[in-house]
Amino acid sequence: MNEILTLKNVTKSFQHKTAVNDVSFTIGKGEVVAILGPNGAGKTTTISMILGLLKPTAGEVQLFNHQPQEKQVREKIGTMLQEVSVMPGLKVLEILELIRSYYLQPLVMHELINLTGLTDQDLKTRAEKLSGGQKRRLSFALALAGNPELIIFDEPTVGMDITSRNRFWQTIHHLADQGKTIIFSTHYLQEADDAADRILLFKDGAVVADGTPAQIKARISKQSVSFIVDPEISLENLYLHSEIDDIYRKNNRVYVQSNNTDRVLELIFQEKIGAHDIQIERGKLEEAFEQLTSGTKEAI
Partner 1 sequence: MRTFQMQCKFEIIRVLRNRYFVFWSLVMPILFYYIFTNVVNTNAPDKAEWQAHYLMSMTVFSVMGSSMMTLGIRMVQERSQGWSTFIRITPLSDTVYFAAQMIGQSVIHLLSITIIFIAGAIINGVSLTAFEWIASGLWISLGSLPFLAIGTLIGMMKKVETAAGISNVIYMVLAVAGGLWMPLEIMPKMMQTIGKWLPSYNFGNGAWEIVRGNMPDWKNILILNAYLALFMLLSKYIRRKQEAA
Per-residue binding string, partner 1, 80-119, x by CB under 8 A, is -x-xxxxxxxx---x--xxx-xxxx---------------
Binding flags for partner 1, 130-149, as an x/- string (CB under 8 A): ------------x---x---
**Span from 4-12, 47-55, 168-176, 219-227 in contact with partner 1 (CB under 8 A):** 47-55
Instruction: Extract long-range pairs of 192-196: CB within 8 Å, 24+ residues apart.
Output: 192/34, 192/36, 192/216, 193/217, 193/285, 194/169, 195/32, 195/34, 195/169, 196/32, 196/33, 196/34
Tell me the three state secondary structure of residue 27: strand
Per DSSP, 267 falls in state H
Should residue 271 be labelled a site residue for partner 1 when binding is judged by CB under 8 A? Answer: no
87 vs 265 by CB, closer to partner 1? 87
Shortest Å distance, C-beta 79 to partner 1: 5
- Using CB under 8 A as the binding rule, whether residue 63 contacts partner 1 is answered as no
Nearer residue to partner 1 within complex by CB, 104 or 240: 104
User: Least Å distance between CB 129 and partner 1?
Assistant: 12
Answer for the pair 210, 61: CB distance below 8 angstroms, yes or no: no
CA distances for 270 relative to 225, 264, 266, 273, angstroms:
15, 10, 6, 8
Backbone angles phi, psi at 222, to 5 degrees: -90, 135
Q: How far is the CB of 98 from partner 1 (least distance, A)?
A: 5
Q: Is the dihedral of CA 199, 211, 147, 149 positive or negative?
A: positive
With binding defined as CB under 8 A, does residue 181 bind partner 1? no
Residue closer to partner 1, measured from CB, 72 or 190: 72
Decide: is 231 part of the binding site for partner 1 (CB under 8 A). no
Question: Count of residues for the chain?
Answer: 300
SS (H, E, C) 239-264: HCCCCCCEEEEECCEEEEECCCHHHH
Interface pick for partner 1 out of 74, 136, 137, 217 (rule CB under 8 A): 74
Residues making contact with partner 1 (CB under 8 A):
51-53, 71, 74-75, 77, 79, 81, 83-90, 94, 97-99, 101-104, 126, 142, 146
